[in-house]
Amino acid sequence: MRRIFSGIQPTHKMHLGNYLGAVRNWVALQDEDYETIYCVVDLHALTVPQDPEALRAQTRELAATLIACGIDPVRSTLFVQSQVPAHAELSWLFSCLTPLGWLNRMTQFKDKAAKQRDNTMLGLLAYPVLMAADILAYKATHVPVGDDQKQHLELTREIAGSFNHRYGVEFFPLTEPQILGPATRVMSLRDGTKKMSKSDESDYSRINLTDDADTIALKFRKAKTDPEPLPSEPAGLDGRPEAKNLVAIYAALAGISIDETLRQYGGGQFSTFKKDLAEVAVTALAPIADRLGRLMADPAYVDGVLREGGAKAAATAEGVLRDVKDIMGLVRS
Ligand code: TYM
């Protein structure tokens, strides 16, 4: 059986990096031969301080955004992580099989802990263990993500392998990451060496899925570039991170390759290219914002989808958890 699981944190509105690196692929994979399970991971969001009301609102809005992007609640299971207790429980069981050394190695932990200094919480260190539990609670075989999640998925494989080895079973699959398309790591529009991220202070660093046409055009117009014209070959993008990023975004949005993009725009100025880039972005994003507006006016529908998705997810995850407990020697009565 081929089963996909993936998740996204409700820490902010969705941006173009989330969309091109992950969510667009989640939508496309619904047409292939997989069972698809997608999750708004609110427990992960708690690893940094959250305002309770804002978290609740963002969780619902993100679920609605996923539906607006094309996640089909009929073909996919869409739910909120905290509504399925098996994730947190499995996470504890895995934490007893995960050496601290594996977690201390995680670059995202090191980066975030460096910012939080003495106030680093246990949850931040344990984050990748919960992520492994998210995936393995469904015995997911494939996980579509952006490039920044690669290391966490390697850890998931290590945890699965360690469980299988420790108990002499072939229980968990070794999950395959699916890092797909020309824009697996979308960079900030202000600095091509930094990832486009929800936590960047400057809103000009990212395109939000809900930005209107004028804002999108303005953000691309202001996006950092260099004084050279665009190259005609991909090799000419080496050492030019901002140009490389904009070309990758264009290719992903227009549904063509980077080679093709450069054949079209090579030798040209950024000003023309940026105008066309804004146009393909608006063409792709405006219908999503439109659908999101309608979904936000119908919160009962979105809550209903999440309720049903949660029940369906829980049924699967509880079955896996029961087997895990049996394997580990926990008594069931
Ligand atoms: P999160 O919420 O940071 O991001 C959600 C998805 O968007 C991708 N992404 C990007 N892709 C390309 N360029 C970017 N600039 C960019 N920024 C984000 C991420 O790679 C991700 O696929 N730990 C995860 C959430 C998670 C999860 C899981 C994912 C929790 N449990 C289980 C998969 C499976 C995270 O923080 O994603």
| Residues 6+ positions from 308 with CB-CB distance below 8 Å | 73
CATH (domain of 289):
1.10.240.10
Residue 24: domain span:
3-178+299-328
Q: How far apart are CA 288 and CA 79, in angstroms?
A: 20
Q: Domain of 75: which CATH number? A: 3.40.50.620
Q: Looking at ligand 1, which atom is closest to the CA of residue 148?
A: 20
| pLDDT (0 to 100) of residue 333 | 83
Tell me what percent of the residues of the chain surpass a pLDDT of 90.
Answer: 95
Ligand 1 pocket, Cβ-based, cut-off 6 angstroms: 5-9, 17-18, 21-22, 41, 44, 131, 134-135, 143, 145-146, 148-149, 152, 184-186, 195-196
Give yes or no: residues 62 and 29 share one domain.
yes
Nearest to 130 by CA among 150, 108, 105, 159: 159
Residue owning the nearest CA to atom 35 of ligand 1:
8
Does residue 174 sit in the same domain as residue 273? no
Could you give the residue numbers annotated as active site? 112, 195, 198
Domain count, the chain: 2
Q: Which atom of ligand 1 is nearest to the CA of 5?
A: 34
Q: Indicate if 284 and 309 belong to the same structural domain.
A: no
Query: Distance (Å, rounded) from C-alpha 12 to C-alpha 325?
Result: 35
Nearest residue (CA) to ligand 1, atom 31 = 131
Cβ–Cβ < 8 Å for 238, 192:
no
**Would you tell me how many other CB atoms lie within 10 Å of the CB of residue 329?**
7
What's the pLDDT at 117?
Answer: 77
In a domain, 148, yes or no: yes
311 and 281, same structural domain? no
Residue 181: per-residue pLDDT: 92
- pLDDT one-digit tens code per residue, 219-276: 999 999 999 999 999 999 999 999 999 999 999 999 999 999 999 999 999 999 999 9
Residues 46 and 116 in one domain: yes
**145, 151, 246: which to mutate for ligand 1, most atoms within 8 A of CB?**
145
> Is residue 186 one of the residues assigned to a domain?
no
The answer to whether position 189 is within a domain reads: no
Rounded to whole angstroms, the Cα distance separating 150 from 91 reads 19
Closest to 78 (Cα-Cα) out of 86, 88, 91, 68 = 68
Asked whether residue 285 falls in the same domain as residue 315, the answer is no
Q: What is the pTM of this model?
A: 0.97
- 272 & 165 share domain: no
- Name the helix (H) or strand (E) containing 314: helix 299-328
Strand order in the sheet with 76-80: 76-80, 35-40, 3-8, 142-144, 176-178
Q: Is the pLDDT of residue 1 over 90?
A: no
Q: What's the pLDDT tens digit per position in 96-155? A: 999 999 999 999 999 989 888 778 899 999 999 999 999 999 999 999 999 999 999 999
Within 10 Å of residue 67's Cβ, how many Cβ atoms? 19
